[in-house]
Amino acid sequence: MTEPLKSPPKKNPQLRTSAPTLPPTMRSRAAMGLTAAAAEGRFMLQVCADCGTVLYPARDACSRCLSTDLHWQEVSPKGRLLAETTVRTSTNLYFRERAPWRTGTVQLDVGPVIICHVHGDVERNGRVVLWNRLDRAGQGVLIAMPEQPTPNMEDDPQLRAMTSDPKHRRVLIADARSENAAAIARALKKAGAGQVFIGEAEAWRPNPMRAVLEDIPGVQILPLDVTDTRSVAELAGEIGGKVDILINNARFLRPGGALSRGDTVFAQQEMEVNYLGLMRLAQAFGPGMCARTADGVNSAVAWVNILSAHALVSLPELGGFSASQAAALSLSQSLRAEFRASGLRVMNVFIGPTEDDWHQPLPPPKVPPEALARDLVAGLQAGLEDVYCGDVARDLIERFRAGAKVLEREMTTGQG
């Protein structure tokens, strides 16, 4: 059983904050199939289309039949731990600082032999199930887990190093006026988060959500307007050093594309909030968070964007809004590169229509705030990069992968 993680003591202001280090980043192109699967929390390995052999490590040709027709597929993650070691010294700084580190050799029931991380609760030579997770370098790695859940298993230091678990971490939610702010705050507190800060723009305007938010213990409402550079910089100056997870839920949405609107006023506001708002938050909070990714139990760990799945393909009825979401998605990819050296993870939660005023005329299914909050927190706990929340978002990504052009035509001919 894993020792339960304790809430960290107050930080000693006389000590230097540890500089971030990373596990090895280099991978072959083929091996990054594991990373792509880990970004969504899926366990996939290469399978030979010709002879069915499950292959590992990733390669470019089947080691049984020389076929080059290899595909990443979901296969059984179960196996047995054949051998193990505890690495106590490494020339790699990341592991050197985190030693001892348990690794082992697992033989999967489907064949391959896999050197992997080993969770502390796995018994010697025991049955295991492999989880595919992103490590702090943002690359997919496999960790052997006990077949049955064990108490506090999420607190295992090796597993926690791969996830964005909110337990004991301090979170900033950008927009207190959003319908989802309260549900997200509650789900975070339930998951053991420390302080939850919630930003509120235009305090001079009534916020019908305020009372509900103030009722959640441990929640603090602070002024933050993502369209105002000075406001963002001021809040970062005040609490930037204790934001471990930032959830950007600010969004501006109005119906219409280019012609149906006839002006760029709403489009500008969409870009101000959805795109430039993200950039302002990143410029103000990003550097501080990147500097604190090795800061112990409540190290900075994740940056969350809530994006419309129409960032992937435009919904013409919300054409202007979709464009701003595409811009935000593109910027989130840039942030992944800019945060890379620190190990700070960018998680995008893609949603379809939500239960709110602006989607009221759209037919169900819609994502209720509680479902969004649940998937968001689960994504943090699994350390994901991409979460598709709700039926519409999952449907869209599936169709997007099957054929982006076909999906585009379906959307633009009203068959979406």
Partner 1 sequence: MNARQSYEGVALVAPASTEYRRYSIETAHWWIATALRQALDVAGLRPADLDGLSLASFTLFPDSAVGLTQHLGLCPRWLDHIPMGGAAGIVALRRAARAVQAGDASIVACVAGDTNQIDSFRQLLSSFSRFATDAAYPYGYGGPNANFALLTDRYMQECGATREDFGRICVSQRQNALKSPRAVMKKPLSMEQYLAARPIADPIALFDCVMPCAGAEAFLVMPVEEAERRNLPYATIAGAIERHNAHAEDPIQLRGGWTMDIDELYAQAGCGPADIDLLQTYDDYPVISMMQIEDLGFCAKGEAPRFVREHDLTTTGDFPHNTSGGQLSGGQAGAAGGFIGLVEAIRQVTGTAGGTQVAGARRAMVSGFGMINYDRGLCTGAAILEGAGA
Partner 2 sequence: MSTLSELTARLATGAVQVVDLTHTLDPDFPVIVLPPEFGQCAPFRIEEISAYDHRGPAWKWNNISMGEHTGTHFDAPSHWISGRDVPNGAVDEIDPAMLVGPVVVIDCSEGTAGNDDFELTPQIILDWEARHGLIPAGSWVLMRTDWSKRSGAAYLNMKDDGPHSPGPTPEAIRLLVHEREIRGFGTECIGTDAGQGAHYTPPYPAHFTLHGAGRYGLQCLRNLDLLPPTGAVLIAPPLKIKGGTGSPLRVLALVEN
Residues of the shown chain interacting with partner 2 in the complex, contacts defined by CB under 8 A: 202-206, 225, 227-231, 254, 263, 265-266, 268-269, 357
User: Strands 140-146 and 219-223, how do they pair?
Assistant: unpaired
**Dihedrals phi, psi of 219, to nearest 5 degrees:** -100, 135
Binder of residue 150, out of partner 2, partner 1, none (CB less than 5 to 8 A by kind): none
**Alpha carbon 105 to chain centroid distance?**
28
Residue 92, contacted partner among partner 2, partner 1, none, CB below 5-8 A by kind: partner 1
Task: Please check whether residue 328 is in contact with residue 311, taking contact to mean a CB–CB distance below 8 angstroms.
Answer: yes
Give me the least distance between CB of 48 and partner 1, in Å please: 15
Distance in angstroms (rounded) separating the CA atoms of residues 169 and 293? 12
Smaller CB separation from partner 1, 68 or 92: 92
Q: Which two tokens stand for residue 405?
A: 């052009």
* Contact partner, 362, from partner 1, partner 2, none, Cβ < 5-8 Å per class: none
The one among 83, 265, 404, 406 contacting partner 1 by CB under 8 A: 83
Distance, in Å, from the CA atom of 2 to the CA atom of 141, rounded to the nearest integer, reads: 21
Helices and strands: H and E segment counts in the chain: 12, 15
In this complex, which beta carbon is closest to partner 2, that of residue 96 or of residue 210?
210
DSSP 144-180: EEESS--TTGGG-HHHHTTS---TT--EEES-TTSTT
Q: How far is the CB of 195 from partner 1 (least distance, A)?
A: 33
Name which of 143 and 193 has its Cβ closer to partner 1.
143
**Residue 355 touches which of partner 1, partner 2, none (Cβ within 5-8 Å per kind):** none
Amino acid at 12: N
Strand 171-173 versus strand 245-248 pairing type: parallel
The one of partner 2, partner 1, none whose footprint includes residue 27, by CB under 5 to 8 A per kind, is partner 1
Q: Is 114 in the site for partner 1 (CB under 8 A)?
A: yes
- Under the criterion CB under 8 A, does residue 84 sit at the interface with partner 1? yes
Give the number of other CB atoms < 10 A from CB of residue 17: 14
Could you list the residues that contact partner 1 (CB under 8 A)? 23-24, 26-28, 30-31, 56-58, 63, 82-92, 94-95, 101-105, 107, 113-117, 125, 135, 137, 139, 141
